[in-house]
Amino acid sequence: MHNHVIPAAALDLLRRDAGYGVTLDGDQWSGAHHVPFTVVASFHDPAAKITEMDAKGIGSAVVSCPPPLFFYDVSRDRSIELCEASNAGMAEFCTTHPERLRWLAHLPMQDPPHAVKAYQAALLQGCVGAAIGTSIAGQRLDEPEFEEFWVAAEQAGKPVLLHPAFNEPHRGLEPYYLQNVIGNPLETTITVERLICAGVFTRHPALRLVIVHGGGFLPYQAGRLAHACEVRPEITVPPSDVWQAFGQLYFDSLTHNTSALRYLTEHVGHNHVLLGTDLPFDMGGGSGHGLGRSARRAGTRRGRLGERDPPVRSGGYARSQRLDLAGRRALVPVLRGQAAERGENHAALRVLVWAVRIGA
Ligand SMILES: [Zn+2]
């Protein structure tokens, strides 16, 4: 999960139509709403993607479009055309290595009725879920107009990946690339906590979300939200809804820190952590081999943590709250440990891909 592509069909459209505001000078991307970056071959060339995955020890990947392609701020027609080109391009991209690649639909979320139609069309094209921004150019996903999308996403029975996008401006984050370093995990935290407070997970118990960058600050700060549910009149959902939501959430492993990944797996349960790479961006990382090592370390520590702090014992928040864990089977874990440690994560990820494809 969380492995990016920019299909050639989308690049062609951006070159043809200046209305998107993107300048492509060779492989240099500039403009629109993203910092300049190099469109390396693994964004659009399946052979280069496979080579990159092999180098990282990654057997299989569920690819998705990155935020630079989230044109939620352009006209509806342009957004629809770009999403259609992206989805057709990803379908073609993945047919080159069907045993190793699957894709998530790109949707024109600024128009929820059309986003639903686009998702239904993409499902027929073979997508295994959808990838959307945490913010739809300023609109928040818990607002009423997105309810029909959540209904459709739940009915589809496939995961929705939430990726930070259109981060709210914050003067303190302007220097040092902090709009990405802090702003991205902050955006994820804002979006998921708002969805919890708005009751989206409660209304749609079969909904499954994948949140990136280790879940932002959510795994570390969810207790604060639950406490606020108890003491503050601004929040009307019960504290149990916070923990219940964790049964519907899956977290990518991209923390850039072994201790943080260990904390994540211990808290949410290793069955809810998926290999995430953010490749091929420079803020990406994560190799299958390194993930395996982290999983093994986390596994050896679970018992001790459980003795010290029963509420967060192995199995995660959901288990600690004695919740229905049926959702734990919705996505097969990649962090099951030793297979990945031996470099056999190809097989483990293939299981994940199949589970996502069938909506298990
Ligand atoms: Zn990403």
Residue 89 lies in domain: 3-358
pLDDT of residue 207: 97
Calculate the CA 326 to chain-centre distance: 21
Q: What is the CATH number of the domain that holds 196?
A: 3.20.20.140
pLDDT of residue 315: 35
pLDDT of residue 285: 78
CA of 1 to the centre of ligand 1 (A): 10
CA of 305 to the centre of ligand 1 (A): 31
CA distances for 115 relative to 91, 122, 146, 356, angstroms: 18, 10, 10, 20
Cα Rg of the chain, angstroms: 19
pLDDT of residue 353: 43
Two tokens, residue 240: 């149990």
- pLDDT values of the chain reduced to their tens digit, one per residue, 360 residues: 999 999 999 999 999 999 999 999 999 999 888 899 999 999 999 999 999 999 999 999 999 999 999 999 999 999 999 999 999 999 999 999 999 999 999 999 999 999 999 999 999 999 999 999 999 999 999 999 999 999 999 999 999 999 999 999 999 999 999 999 999 999 999 999 999 999 999 999 999 999 999 999 999 999 999 999 999 999 999 999 999 999 999 999 999 999 999 999 999 998 999 999 999 998 987 565 555 555 455 444 432 222 232 233 233 333 333 322 323 333 333 333 323 333 334 334 444 444 444 333
- DSSP labels, 295-329: HHHHHHHHHHHHHH-GGG-TTHHHHHTT---GGGG
The Cα–Cα gap between 143 and 30 comes to 31
CA of 203 to the centre of ligand 1 (A): 28
CA of 278 to the centre of ligand 1 (A): 4
Longest CA pairwise span in the chain (Å): 61
CA of 204 to the centre of ligand 1 (A): 26
Report the amino acid identity of residue 77.
D
pLDDT of residue 303: 29
CA of 279 to the centre of ligand 1 (A): 7
> What's the domain count of the chain?
1
CA of 190 to the centre of ligand 1 (A): 17
pLDDT of residue 346: 39
pLDDT of residue 32: 80
pLDDT of residue 290: 55
CA of 318 to the centre of ligand 1 (A): 26
Two tokens, residue 12: 């062609």
* 3-class secondary-structure state, position 197: helix
pLDDT of residue 297: 55
